[in-house]
């Protein structure tokens, strides 16, 4: 259902007893890494490519523009989101990151880590009132069948009538990392002021 290519996805006949729904998919891996891109339309239009490395409780995401310049670095740890706007050399904490990246208001750090791993966040499966919508917009999940079952390959955030953000994961590898992404934001980076956002 996503715009990314199916690659070496296998047919249902060759997959055998692969789970056919998200609740039955079990991922037995310590790490996950991958690549993808984010397309936004509406008030802020553009495309950013990203690569990520994730453990069970922390993910590191590096965004680059179409020219290959590093633009944004996210650390999703526990319930916190830290962001480093590399182009403007500013650090954002949870509240300022939500203001500068509005789709973060619809999800949590844990939700985003689950999406990177290919899972629909648990709250969207168990709470029928939140399955595909939130108070601040709508979220739609799309999947591709992999050798371990269906994994999230695309998430669409509909923020309002005019603003849409699509996150597509084009490559995902389990038990692998991108070591260069595992880092902290330098303490010397100044914090962004909320009134400047």
What's the confidence (pLDDT) of residue 104? 78
Question: Comparing C-alpha atoms, which of 144, 134, 68, 74 is closest to residue 109?
Answer: 74
List, in sequence order, every residue forming a beta bridge with 191; answer none if it has no partner.
91
59 phi and psi angles, rounded to 5 deg: -130, 145
Q: Would you state the torsion angle of the CA atoms of residues 48, 53, 56, 58, taken in this order, to the nearest 10 degrees?
A: -70
Give this prediction's pTM.
0.79
What pLDDT digit, counting tens, does each position of 155-189 carry?
Answer: 998 887 788 899 999 999 999 999 999 999 999 99
> pLDDT below 50 — which residues of the chain?
1-16, 18, 128-135, 195-197
């Amino acid at each position: 259902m996503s715009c990314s290519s199916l690659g070496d996805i296998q047919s249902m006949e060759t997959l055998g007893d692969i789970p056919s729904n998200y609740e039955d998919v079990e991922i037995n891996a310590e790490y996950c890494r991958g690549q993808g891109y984010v397309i936004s339309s509406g008030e802020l239009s553009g495309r950013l490519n990203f690569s990520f490395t994730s453990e069970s409780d922390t993910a590191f995401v590096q965004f680059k523009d179409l020219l290959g310049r590093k633009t944004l670095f996210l650390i999703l740890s526990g319930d916190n989101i830290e962001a480093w706007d590399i182009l403007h050399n500013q650090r954002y904490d949870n509240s300022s990151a939500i203001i500068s990246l509005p789709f973060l208001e619809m999800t949590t750090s844990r939700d985003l880590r689950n999406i990177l791993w290919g899972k629909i966040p648990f709250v969207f499966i168990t709470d029928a009132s939140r399955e595909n919508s939130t108070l601040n917009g709508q979220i739609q999940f799309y999947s591709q069948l992999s050798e371990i079952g269906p994994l999230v390959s695309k998430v669409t955030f509909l923020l309002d009538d005019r603003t849409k953000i699509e996150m597509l994961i084009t490559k995902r590898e389990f038990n692998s990392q991108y070591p260069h992404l595992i880092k902290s934001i330098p303490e010397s980076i100044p914090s962004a002021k909320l009134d400047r956002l």
